[in-house]
């Protein structure tokens, strides 16, 4: 990926101006830090801390030193060694969404035959319902089978899974996720006690606490609350991950015009203050802790009063955020492949493709949210498969055009000569797979052949692929002693939380 095509939306002077604005915000305005431990870290480093208001004013020298300590590359390990992920400012990895409140069930209108108006009108239609533990397992297994997905979100992150005790969602969600994938699985930092629970489980998978400290087998997200607010529970959970030296993406979600200035430059300055203040606290707790500079920023659509998560401005913010992160020599986490559409339709397709392509060309190193729809309230199994096809096309885009003696093919052109064709040339067979992206779900047949084949839409074919993967894909099971330990922790957490509920 070192020589991939690049998209830039900021000049070097503009990046520096945004950095300076963020430093001004952190010193003149400050950030609300509700975790006492985090305030104490900032105080000891030289920040001005007001215990009554919990506002911390952070001078630039503290921030800049912390940013220098953050590594430009690190590894997230998987229980299958070849699935481990090397993260850097030059890499590109995708993190599909697993845990959402709702799961989309694709349906086709009854009686809609091949090529009929009913079939065309129902393309991508369906209904949303609450996500179950079975959905979590199936979503993770799909992501495990699809090679373009590398770092996996998980049921551990979900605040609610239908049919699961709400205070035990994190442990049930992690267990179901790690059963269904041997790729790196994300754990929660939503509260310190939840982080501790998950990390006991991760340590069991890693082979013990010492092995986990040596090799990060998980990662998490810390979300500052825009504007300029570090929540107590989230920060204490993140500090637990930092205590183990585990990777954290520090991601703000400003909405231009609502929780940030309406201008994109103002959003980026405030977002940078949000993110780098979080990174500073993490580096003060554990110098050199792996982090991503993260964005989930977009605009508020003033016409409907909601964040527009499929907006082109989100693409611009992704690109600008990658440039800012790389100015700090830190990997960037971006948010793309989201859509505001409620269906798997044309709106979903263009919003997802637009933001995915911009993020990848812009240098984002971890792209989160494939598989989502409806403003990321809902996740879709068919959507995971459809987004994966877009991702494969984006990877081909990033490869660019290879120009050398073999690909210029002047000798082959001379051999075929005027009026000939290249179909039978060995050169064609040699290069067709590496030079041409051949989608699995999109149809390039004539209308007649398409109708003869059942007039299937891309979503129809994605549904077939979902069913095929779930029927055929097998994940290496957890060792019996690890499975038993994880189940023991789940039972322990359920009993603890049941006891807590009784005493309240």
- Residue 501 banded pLDDT, cuts 50, 70, 90: confident
Q: What is the pLDDT of residue 502?
A: 83
Please give, one letter per residue, the 3-state secondary structure of 22-48. HHHHHHHHCEEECCHHHHHHHHHHCCE
Q: Average pLDDT in the 264-289 region?
A: 98
Query: pLDDT band at residue 3, thresholds of 50, 70 and 90?
Result: low
Q: Is the pLDDT of residue 2 over 90?
A: no
Q: Give residue 301's pLDDT.
A: 96
pTM of the model: 0.95
- Residue that is written with structure tokens 């707790």 in the block: 285
Q: Give per-residue pLDDT as tens, 379-425.
A: 999 999 999 999 999 999 999 999 999 999 999 999 999 999 999 99
Q: Does the pLDDT at position 17 exceed 60?
A: yes
CB 130 within 8 A of CB 102: yes
The closest alpha carbon to 365, from 290, 440, 468, belongs to 290
pLDDT at 116: 43
pLDDT score of 110: 47
Q: Decide if 380 contacts 344 (C-beta within 8 A).
A: yes
Residue range 70-113, pLDDT digits in tens: 999 999 999 999 999 999 999 999 999 998 999 999 985 444 44
As a whole number, mean pLDDT of residues 336-352 equals 96
Nearest to 396, CA basis, from 366, 341, 436? 436
Which one is predicted more confidently, 59 or 5? 59
- Please give the domain boundaries of the chain with CATH numbers for all domains: 1-107+213-398 (3.20.20.480), 406-455 (no CATH)
How many of the other CB atoms lie within 10 Å of CB of 471? 7
Cα(372)–Cα(380) distance, integer angstroms = 6
Bond before 471 cis per omega within 30 degrees: no
Tell me the percentage of the chain whose pLDDT exceeds 90. 94
- pLDDT (0 to 100) of residue 503: 84
């Amino acid at each position: 990926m070192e020589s991939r095509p690049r998209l830039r939306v900021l000049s070097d002077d503009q990046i520096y101006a945004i950095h300076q604005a963020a430093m001004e915000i952190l010193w003149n305005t400050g950030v609300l830090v509700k975790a006492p431990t985090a305030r104490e870290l900032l105080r000891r480093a030289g920040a001005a801390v007001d215990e009554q208001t919990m506002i911390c004013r952070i001078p630039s020298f503290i921030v800049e030193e912390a940013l220098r300590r953050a590594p430009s590359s690190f590894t997230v390990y998987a229980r299958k060694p070849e699935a481990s992920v090397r993260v850097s400012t030059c890499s590109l990895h995708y993190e599909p969404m697993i845990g959402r409140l709702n799961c989309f069930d694709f349906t086709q209108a009854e009686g809609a035959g091949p090529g009929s108006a009913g079939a065309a009108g129902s393309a991508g239609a369906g209904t949303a319902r609450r996500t179950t533990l079975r959905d979590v397992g199936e979503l993770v297994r799909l992501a495990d089978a699809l090679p373009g997905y590398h770092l996996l979100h998980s049921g551990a992150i979900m605040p609610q899974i239908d049919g699961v005790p709400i205070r035990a969602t994190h442990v049930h969600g992690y267990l179901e996720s790690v059963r269904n994938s041997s790729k790196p699985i994300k754990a929660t930092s939503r509260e310190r006690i939840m982080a501790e629970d998950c990390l006991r489980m991760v340590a069991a998978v890693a082979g013990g606490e010492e092995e986990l400290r040596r090799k990060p087998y998980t990662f998490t997200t810390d979300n500052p609350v825009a504007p300029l607010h570090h929540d107590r529970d989230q920060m204490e959970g993140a500090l637990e991950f930092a205590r183990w030296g585990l990777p954290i993406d520090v991601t703000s979600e400003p909405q231009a015009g609502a929780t940030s200035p309406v201008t994109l430059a103002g959003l980026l300055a405030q977002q940078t203050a949000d993110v780098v203040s979080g990174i500073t606290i993490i580096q003060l707790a554990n110098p050199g802790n792996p982090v991503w500079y993260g964005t989930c920023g977009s605009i508020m659509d003033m016409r409907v009063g909601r964040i527009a998560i499929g907006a082109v401005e989100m693409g611009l913010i992704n690109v600008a955020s990658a440039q800012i992160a790389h100015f700090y020599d830190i990997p960037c986490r971006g948010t793309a492949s989201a859509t505001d559409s409620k269906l798997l339709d044309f709106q979903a397709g263009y919003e997802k493709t637009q933001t995915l392509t911009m993020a990848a060309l812009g240098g984002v190193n971890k792209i989160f949210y494939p598989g989502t729809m409806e403003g990321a309230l809902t996740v879709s199994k068919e959507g995971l498969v459809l987004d994966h096809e877009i991702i494969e096309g984006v990877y081909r885009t990033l490869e660019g055009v290879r120009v050398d003696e073999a690909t210029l093919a002047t000798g082959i052109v001379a051999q075929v000569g005027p009026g000939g064709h290249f179909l039978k040339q060995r050169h064609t067979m040699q290069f067709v797979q590496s030079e041409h992206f051949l989608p699995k779900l999109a149809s390039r047949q004539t209308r007649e052949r398409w109708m003869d084949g059942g007039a299937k839409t891309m979503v129809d074919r994605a549904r077939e692929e979902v069913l095929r993967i779930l029927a055929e894909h097998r994940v290496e099971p957890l060792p019996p002693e690890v499975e038993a330990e994880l189940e023991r922790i789940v039972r322990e957490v359920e009993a603890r939380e049941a006891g807590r509920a009784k005493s309240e």
